Amino acid sequence: MTDRRLRAWHRRILFTIWITYFGFYFCRKNIAAALPAIASDLGVTNAQLAILGTCLAASYAIGQFINGQLGDRYGARLLVTVGIVGSVILNVGFGFCRSLTAMAVLWGANGYFQSMGWGPITKTVANWFPQGRRGSVSGVLGTSYHLGEVATLLLTGVLLAGSHWRMMFWVPAGLLALLGIHFAIRVRNAPEEVGLPTAEEQEDGVTEERDATADGHLGLAYTLRQTVGNPRVWIVGAAFFWLHLVQWGFLYWSVKMFTELHGDALSTAALKAAAIPVAGALGAMSAGWATDRLFGGRRAPLACVMIVGLAAAICTFALLPKLAGLLLVLLLGLIGFLNSGAQLIMCAPMAMDLATRKAASAAAGFIDALGYAGVGTGIAVTGVLVDRFGAGGDAAAGWQAALLFWSGAAIISALLMATLWRYKPARGAYH
């Protein structure tokens, strides 16, 4: 009976966190397709538009560090619900803004509440699933944010074609609110809370039920030691800084890049951009599965190889910026596959491996915080590069400079991950 009940709870937990994090992207990535319309409405430059992304990234980075620690203390059920409520309210408010300053303030605040999602959800995976399954489960979870990106691009493209850009913030907010109610009702922080064996006991074959207990917190000193005091976490975080710069370079600027390079309508540009997260979902699932089944729990080698391939793919796009048709879609898909596979490995199973499940939220939050510091840097630098090198109407030169910048960032990330090539997680009290 316990095995059947445990499997049922595994399915319930995975579906609940999957659909919830899928919904988070409705209220974070919706801004990408709105940028051209906002620029036209307010009469602002690329560098000024970059302020919005930089504000979100900065507050998200700060929030990831804080809320990663709080996720280990209070669990996902409380923290994720609070994050959803805050993000919904701020997206509704953003839709009423009429100045860039007000937009920057609200979008920055949105970043903080959005940061309440990933760390606590990663902690939930670490609590519910044994170490030998975390790569595969994380890979499935990783498809949520990629398909969330696709759904957001499609939704906002439809909304923009038939209504004002402000609806691109109000409608997603309503959808996320519904998913937040579902999450609060369905999720539980750990198997102990419903009388099921812990992740370590599951791995050892223990099936006995017990009295329900809370997911114990080992204290702030423990979680800080496993994150800030852990050199390997710093290395992964530094590599994630450069890799996330690349990912958000495409996600934040791709729609505008295609409108300027190819003369696409906004809806067409959004559809092209969707190739990146669609392939990214496959990349995340494949990479997570491979590290469990083919690499025996070693995560860094596959991440390193995928990032090297990513740098080569971006260079190809930089040299052939007006590539069109099936070749363009395949290249964008390859970029999404490689980027997302490496990213998933670094911000989910590696975070759990390096910090133990008792500090998984703190580690995931810390790594993601450094990643979003890279996002803010990358968005700002990209906006300046495109304006500077694209001056005089040469859009291709501006975007080529941005693409080469992103490729260089990927190379730095790969070199950092190569230093962990031989690392394999050891079993311990809370592995």
> What range does the domain containing 251 cover?
2-190+218-418
Query: How many CA atoms does the CB half-sphere of 198 hold within 13 Å?
Result: 11
Residue 169 confidence (pLDDT)? 93
Tens-digit pLDDT profile for residues 239-275? 999 999 888 787 777 777 888 877 777 667 777 777 8
Q: How confident is the model at residue 430 (pLDDT cuts 50, 70, 90)?
A: low
Between CA 254 and CA 351 the distance in angstroms is 29
- CB-based contact 161:37 (threshold 8 Å): no
- 3-state DSSP call for residue 416? helix
Q: How confident is the model at residue 25 (pLDDT cuts 50, 70, 90)?
A: very high
- CB-based contact 55:108 (threshold 8 Å): yes
Between CA 389 and CA 401 the distance in angstroms is 7
- Residue 88 falls within a domain, yes or no? yes
Residue 417 confidence (pLDDT)? 96
pLDDT mean over 149-159? 83
Q: Measuring CA to CA, which residue among 148, 156, 157, 50 is closest to residue 104? A: 50
- Residue 173 falls within a domain, yes or no? yes
- Residue 197 falls within a domain, yes or no? no
- Residue 385 falls within a domain, yes or no? yes
Size of the chain, expressed as the number of residues it contains: 431
- Residue 286 falls within a domain, yes or no? yes
Q: How far is CA 237 from the centre of its chain?
A: 14
Does 98 score more than 60 pLDDT? yes
Element (H, E) at 153: helix 134-162
- Residue 237 falls within a domain, yes or no? yes
CB neighbours (10 Å) of residue 214? 10
Query: Which residue matches tokens 């740098």?
Result: 311
Residue type present at position 407: S
List, in order, residues 6 or more apart from 35 with CB less than 8 Å away: 49, 252, 255, 256
Does 393 score more than 80 pLDDT? no
Element (H, E) at 10: helix 2-24
In the chain, how many domains are there? 1
Does 327 score more than 80 pLDDT? yes
- Weakest mean pLDDT among 110-124, 126-140, 211-225: 211-225
Between CA 343 and CA 335 the distance in angstroms is 12
Does 292 score more than 80 pLDDT? yes
- Weakest mean pLDDT among 8-12, 205-209, 330-334: 205-209
- 3-state DSSP call for residue 195? coil
Residue 244, domain CATH: 1.20.1250.20
The token pair that represents 157 in the structure block? 């493209």
Residue 132 confidence (pLDDT)? 83
Q: How confident is the model at residue 428 (pLDDT cuts 50, 70, 90)?
A: low
- Residue 170 falls within a domain, yes or no? yes
Does 344 score more than 70 pLDDT? yes
Tens-digit pLDDT profile for residues 163-173? 778 889 999 99
pLDDT mean over 196-203? 85
Does 68 score more than 60 pLDDT? yes
- Residue 315 falls within a domain, yes or no? yes
